[in-house]
Amino acid sequence: MTTPAPVTAAGLPLATRIGQVNQRLKGWEAVRWVDGRPRVTDVLRAEVDRWGGLGALYGVLRADPWSAVRWEDGIPPERSAEAYAAVQEHVRRYGDGLPVLFVEEAPHGLMALGGTTLPVNLALGAGMDAGLTEELGALVAAEARARGTHVALVSGLDVLRDPRWGRAEECFSEDPALAATLVEATVRGMQGTAGCDDPIDAGHVAVVAKHLAGQGAGIGGRNGSGAPIGRRELGELHLRPAFAAARAGVAGYMAAYNDVDGVPCSANEELLTGTIRDRWGWSGLVMADGTAVDRLRDSAPDPASAAALALQAGVDLSLWDEAFTHVEEALDRGLVGEDVLDRAVDRVLALKRRLGLLGEHVPATSPTAGPAPTGAEPAREREVVALVERAARQSVVLVRDDGVLPLHDGATVAVVGPNADDLDAQLGDYTPPRPPSDPAASTVLSALTDRLGAGRVRHAAGSRLRGPLDDGPEPGALAAVREACAAADVSVVVLGGTSRRSYDDEFAANGAVEGPAPDTTNGEGVDLSSVALPQAQLDVARAARAAGRPVVGVLIDGRPRVLTELLTLVDALLVVPFPGPGGGAAVAETLLTGSASGRLPATFPAADGVLPVAHDERLETARAYSDNPVLRGLPLGSAHVPGISAVLRDDTATVPASALAAGAAAVLTVDVTNTGPAPATVSVPLYGRRHERGVRPRRRTLLGVQRAIVGAGTTTSLTYRLGLDALGSWAGGEPVAVPVTVGVWCTPDTDEPAGAATARVTDLEDTTPWER
């Protein structure tokens, strides 16, 4: 039997090749349900006729306010593969015979009806658990591929450098090392591969990681604004997660909207070709963000020129762009060579080949591959619920406790505040409509009511989320708070934000709300000039304090906030990045046990207007603001962990640069002691300050983090192998061994090295130790 020759761009007509690099359609417009069966639409038919096929189709399953797809009119979860099959059959029968790639959003779970909604990335950053993150990635991939999805668009490359940015919740952390660790884990879990050429089996999906690069460094935290940063800042902070994804074999990157030092990412040849391909040796596919190529019209005179810029730079696949339909004109005018188009086409085909869509062992659609997304066997359903609940629990950060936790047996509790009983406010942006019923979903109010009984719980909302508005809190709202709190033994004040979207909102071309609704405080396009808590919310805490009972604050939000005033009004404080549907039960668990394992994944500023305040900003020679001398309220890694102490052994670990580059490591040890009465699960971060000749040091960087279960009354020793990633220079976007001295410590609330622990990388020309 003769093996057919592999499909390449060279064997395809020009129109077909252009069709392979176009992804113009919104998939929810490509198929409709008629008499209980999927039917392709005239929109899809016209596109297939125009190009003789399709390279990729985005969002067939997408369900959210932007797509206007609801449970009443969307694709039922159990019929997803059937809908995909109808599209695939039409494309292959009436096109060139090539299969189409089905692409879906999966920023924290598949954004389709019935998809499991995970805590947002910032919540996983609080957990600092790469193993769990990998398991969650595998869960999402199995659900998506079972429906027939091939490619998942996954957030995680963005590094949170400004909490004013509405998309802060999509970041794992402000720290590039933590972001890189969790991105790499996500890619491993979702793809199930080790390299960028490995086949992706029928239980996994290809990942397109977004966004490349520097989107978290936008001016003033404004979405899509420029990143006026130098090459070192780009490499050390923003390329490190992307490099980790490449090392894990990520199938693709999404080029970001923003520019870096004036050059748009989707037209940045040095980034999209010189860095990720030539220097890193990565060979996957680059997709533009939605309409990003059309946005090059401010850098190019016409659509054909914009398409040529993106193709030449290294963009292989468009998203909703009109410009890529002008590729033939760009070729005719000599703006770009046909070989550049063929390069892009071959990359699209290579991804189809990785997924087994070009005649290999995996069918184009696989309704039976992997576990069923709904109606799965009870054991599988329990496994999914357990994983998501574990992630929600790890997202809870106990910042402070003055002795009011755990809530004592028999206590009556007042649960007040706008996020006390608002399930949507726990979910984050890019979330599908909630199912009609979800027995695992809980708010703080419902979870405490279930645990304590309705007779021991009082409730009052107190104010709206966005306040202060012109009319302030609703009449009588604060009086109701005081009344509820006075009738209880302890008050739980649940404040924060929401990424709730309304089906009545006006949306821009990239899915961002145009002028966010008063109820929306987070999400794409919802950037804030102030990260102070609204006075209307602080009024709720003041009303609770005025009742004369102990007050526990709970902040459920998707970005760092100024908590300075709130800390004066509460006796204990929990910070919870959007924890997903089961977040209420996770918060209740901490309230009733007095323990949590999360740590802050980003620095919370001490005051509004002192930004940036990331824990790894460079040391400054100037003093702080005259009116705000304290910048950092709560640094990355902060947490109150009762009974736990971590002590870094005084030591100096030295490794030659040549050995570090070859895989050697400096080894240091931390002894973690639990004096409490029960086993405790803790994350133990290790920090360092690098001293590299000719480079101003950052205050500190995250060298590594480990999670451990420490038995009651015992000490556990954790060994940290500080290899090239931890000790190398990332100035160029990949780690390079250079001589450096690193002062090391493990106490999150300081940015000064303590003790004598040091890691040194030496060579024959530089053996003089630094003074720390």
3-state secondary structure of 33: strand
At residue 365 the predicted structure's pLDDT band, cuts being 50, 70 and 90, is: very low
3-state secondary structure of 413: strand
In CATH, the number for domain 99-354 is 3.20.20.300
pLDDT of residue 378: 77
CA-to-CA distance for 283 and 249, rounded, in angstroms?
9
| Whether pLDDT at 542 is above 80 | yes
Contacts of 240 (CB under 8 A, 6+ apart): 159, 176, 177, 179, 180, 730, 733
| Whether pLDDT at 31 is above 60 | yes
pLDDT of residue 374: 47
Q: CATH assignment of 644-762, given 2.40.37.10, 2.50.20.10, 1.10.3720.10, 2.60.40.10?
A: 2.60.40.10
Report the amino acid identity of residue 416.
V
Place of tokens 């005084």: 650
Q: What φ, ψ does residue 539 adopt, rounded to 5°?
A: -60, -35
For the chain, helix (H) and strand (E) counts, in that order, are 20, 26
Q: What is the pLDDT of residues 78-118, one digit of tens each?
A: 999 999 999 999 999 998 899 999 999 999 999 999 999 99
Mean pLDDT value across residues 428-456 = 95
Q: Which of 163, 292, 299, 266 is nearest to 218 (CA)?
A: 163
At residue 769 the predicted structure's pLDDT band, cuts being 50, 70 and 90, is: low
CA-to-CA distance for 162 and 220, rounded, in angstroms?
7
pLDDT of residue 772: 45
3-state secondary structure of 309: helix
| Whether pLDDT at 10 is above 90 | yes
pLDDT of residue 620: 86
Q: What is the pLDDT of residues 286-329, one digit of tens each?
A: 999 999 999 999 999 999 999 999 999 999 999 999 999 999 99
| Whether pLDDT at 767 is above 60 | no
Q: Which of 616, 593, 770 is nearest to 677 (CA)?
A: 593
| Whether pLDDT at 587 is above 60 | yes
- Check: CB of residue 18 under 8 Å from CB of residue 307: no
pLDDT of residue 553: 98
Mean pLDDT value across residues 564-573 = 98
Mean pLDDT value across residues 350-367 = 71
Instruction: Please give the span between the terminal C-alpha atoms of the chain, in angstroms, as a whole number.
Output: 70
Is 397-634 in CATH node 3.40.50.1700? yes
User: Which tokens go with 358?
Assistant: 């070009």
- Check: CB of residue 106 under 8 Å from CB of residue 140: yes
3-class SS string, 580-636: CCCHHHHHHHHHHHCCCCCCCCCCEECCCCCCCCCCCCECCCCCCCCCCCCCEEECC
Q: Which secondary structure element, helix H or strand E, spans residue 98, and what is its range? A: none
At residue 703 the predicted structure's pLDDT band, cuts being 50, 70 and 90, is: very high
- Which is more confidently placed, 5 or 682? 682
Computed over every residue of the chain, the mean pLDDT equals: 92
Q: How many CB atoms lie within 10 A of CB 42?
A: 9
- Check: CB of residue 121 under 8 Å from CB of residue 113: no
pLDDT of residue 555: 98
Q: Which secondary structure element, helix H or strand E, spans residue 715, and what is its range? A: strand 714-722
| Whether pLDDT at 766 is above 80 | no
Alpha-carbon distances, residue 183 vs 121, 179, 375, 410, 725 (angstroms): 10, 6, 30, 44, 14
pLDDT of residue 96: 86
pLDDT of residue 79: 94
Q: Where, residue-wise, is CATH 2.60.40.10 in the chain?
A: 644-762
Q: Where, residue-wise, is CATH 3.20.20.300 in the chain?
A: 99-354
User: Which tokens go with 88?
Assistant: 């695939």
- Check: CB of residue 293 under 8 Å from CB of residue 254: no
Q: How many CB atoms lie within 10 A of CB 626?
A: 6
| Whether pLDDT at 764 is above 70 | no
Q: Where, residue-wise, is CATH 3.40.50.1700 in the chain?
A: 397-634
| Whether pLDDT at 369 is above 60 | no
DSSP state of 275: I
Q: What is the pLDDT of residues 206-260, one digit of tens each?
A: 999 999 999 999 999 999 999 999 999 999 999 999 999 999 999 999 999 999 9
Q: Which of 308, 359, 310 is nearest to 336 (CA)?
A: 308
CA-to-CA distance for 260 and 346, rounded, in angstroms?
28
Mean pLDDT value across residues 115-138 = 98
Range of lowest pLDDT (142-146, 165-169, 377-381, 555-559): 377-381
Task: Find residue 687's DSSP bridge partners.
Answer: 702, 745
Helix pair angle (240-247, 176-191), 10° resolution: 30
